Amino acid sequence: MKSNYQNKISSPFSPNPIFLSKTDIHGHLIELTKKFIILLFLCCFSLFNNQLEAQEPHKSGAKGSNPIVPIDPGQTLPESMWEVPLKVTRHPKGKEQVSLNDFRDKKLIILDFWATWCSPCVAMIPKNEALKKKYEKDLEIIMITDQAEDIVKPFLGRVEQQDKLQHIWTLYGKHDFHQIFKYRTMPHAAIIYDGVYKGAVYGNEITEEKIEMMLNDKWDQIVFKKPELTPKNKYDKDKFLYIDGNGGGREFITYRSVLGGYNPSLGNGSGYVANTEGGGKRMAFLNFSLANIFQYAYSEGRIEFNPMNRKLLEVKDRLKLTTSAAGDEALAWMQSGNVFCYELVVPKPLKNKFFEIMRDDLTRIFPQYQASIEYRDVECYVLKVTDRSKLEKHRSLSGTMEVKQDVYGLSMKHAPLDQMVARFSVLFMQNSPYPIINGSEYNEPINMELHTNVTNMEETNKALAKYGLHFFKELKNIEMLVIKDNQDETGQ
């Protein structure tokens, strides 16, 4: 039985702005909302929320060419690598391409692999620019992304305006450096000292103190990333997990629905939704925490339960369900048996019972926990209308709905406030301790340009004043996912 994947569950910020279906909101609002819920869930439902931004290695060059061999720490860069032409955008001298040879006079070269959707990467830009200026004689930090020029060029313009910077430039496009300096997570900074590749570090190692150490050839206190392991098992999303060796074999399977433990070949927390050829339903979670698997089963995929602020973990050992760790610490937590690969496939007659079957699986496999959706009194941020006359000025009378967002703001055309609140809930403020709720009681579509620090509620409220809107902190009785220890199983 074959299936075609329809949606993918991935990282908190999608690589490109989300464009929703061009549907008349008055005629098809219900259908559009369904499509948006699926799309936004798939863009945001990730295990670690900016902690493990997974980036798979890029394929090598043209068909028939020699495979690209990643460079190892301690290797001297070959002469051919210095001469590779690299496409550049927004270069202060107007250049369209450069090579590493242009920076050969620098003692220390740092290749900063980044992406517009990687919030920690973007946060490093002002800091790195300051370091380049201070150590301009001996240091060059080269930003490098695999995204297209039409995405990164305007984005860096907004970075300059937001952070009052000048002459930010980057290498762009797909080229061999993404495989030579192999990486799976970002931020990823490759360190080249006196022509020798020393290794790669996370962004928090790029500080003034650590740069001083590097420039003085002192490496004992530099924390390098652990070498990337080449996946032994590949995963094909168009085949069933673990069948015929897809993503691994029987050694990973513990329950035939299918359930397995941590599998290093399957990334750092992603999932896929599909319909089977026969009209059934299929879903796969790869290296997911139990909290997130329970969430999907009991909320039946509702995106408002994605953030941790809609989950109450009334258990003694929270680390069995989730973690706030990042980097190598988060990876070690995953490897310690705290995440699972789970796939459920049901035929068409059982499609309407999909979530019920999933909950039954969880009850059988993890009897130590009890989960339910319960109403609880919880302090929330509630969106309310403070000046209806101001809001009415931005009411949209016609058009097609379009919503875009990035780390600097939100743009909405002919869209209801539910669209804005959903993005604040599961994207911008997913780490807030307070759930984000729409209490505006305003259902008309509006046009909105919200360019501010959307991760800060105070700054957001200042920007919303123009629209007669404000987020108030209030106690609300709302649905929460509650996970408890099963007293009968724990014997307590």
Structure confidence by residue, pLDDT tens digits, 191-240:
999 999 999 998 889 999 999 999 999 999 999 988 765 567 788 888 88
Strand intervals (E) in 259-385: 259-260, 270-276, 281-289, 311-314, 339-346, 369-385
CA-CA distance, 240 to 344, in Å (whole number)? 10
* List of residues 6+ apart from 397 with CB closer than 8 A: none
| Residue whose C-alpha is closest to residue 201's, from 103, 99, 328 | 328
Phi/psi zone of residue 409: left (φ > 0), alpha (ψ -120 to 50 degrees), beta? left
pLDDT digits (tens, 9 = 90+) for 79-115: 988 988 999 999 989 899 999 999 999 999 999 999 9
Local confidence band at 489 (pLDDT 50, 70, 90 cut-offs): low
What's the farthest any 2 CA atoms get from each other in the chain? 71
Q: Give me the helices (H) in 345-472, please.
A: 354-365, 388-392, 417-423, 457-464
Is 70 exceeded by the pLDDT of residue 39?
A: no
Residue 176: what are its φ and ψ, rounded to 5°?
-65, -20
pLDDT value for 353? 92
* List of residues 6+ apart from 172 with CB closer than 8 A: 87, 88, 89, 144, 145, 146, 147, 148, 149, 152
The token pair that represents 470 in the structure block: 């404000």
pLDDT value for 231? 63
Give, in order, the Cα–Cα distances in Å from 417 to each of 22, 122, 168, 384, 427: 17, 28, 35, 10, 15
The token pair that represents 323 in the structure block: 């973690």
Q: Helix or strand or coil: residue 111?
A: strand
pLDDT value for 423? 93
In this prediction, residues 273-289 reach a mean pLDDT of 84
| Residue whose C-alpha is closest to residue 416's, from 383, 386, 387, 389 | 383
H or E element that contains 127: helix 119-134
Q: Are strands 53-54 and 185-186 parallel, antiparallel or unpaired?
A: antiparallel
Is 60 exceeded by the pLDDT of residue 29?
A: no
Q: Helix or strand or coil: residue 358?
A: helix
pLDDT value for 377? 96
pLDDT value for 55? 33
Local confidence band at 313 (pLDDT 50, 70, 90 cut-offs): very high
| Residue whose C-alpha is closest to residue 112's, from 208, 217, 203 | 203
Q: What's the alpha-carbon Rg for the chain, to the nearest Å?
A: 24
Q: Give me the helices (H) in 164-231, please.
A: 177-180, 208-215
pLDDT digits (tens, 9 = 90+) for 120-174: 899 999 999 999 999 989 999 999 999 999 999 999 999 988 888 888 999 999 8
Local confidence band at 256 (pLDDT 50, 70, 90 cut-offs): low
Counting residues of the chain whose pLDDT is more than 90, the rounded percentage is: 57
pLDDT value for 178? 86
The token pair that represents 114 in the structure block: 């980044």
Is 60 exceeded by the pLDDT of residue 38?
A: no
Q: Give me the helices (H) in 135-166, please.
A: 149-163
Torsion of CA 400, 405, 410, 413, to 10 degrees: -10
Question: In this structure, what DSSP letter does residue 310 have?
Answer: G
Block residue for tokens 């941020």: 381
pLDDT digits (tens, 9 = 90+) for 57-81: 333 444 445 566 788 899 999 998 8
For residues 335 and 406, which has the higher predicted lDDT (pLDDT)?
A: 335
pLDDT value for 390? 96
pLDDT value for 47? 33
* List of residues 6+ apart from 460 with CB closer than 8 A: 424, 428, 450, 452, 453, 454, 471
Local confidence band at 44 (pLDDT 50, 70, 90 cut-offs): very low
pTM of the model: 0.59
pLDDT value for 440? 96
Cβ(485)–Cβ(492) below 8 Å:
yes
**Mean pLDDT score across all residues of the chain:** 83
* List of residues 6+ apart from 411 with CB closer than 8 A: 402, 403, 404, 405, 448, 449, 450
pLDDT value for 15? 32
In this prediction, residues 450-467 reach a mean pLDDT of 94
In this prediction, residues 178-190 reach a mean pLDDT of 86
- Angle, helices 208-215 vs 119-134, to 10°: value is 60
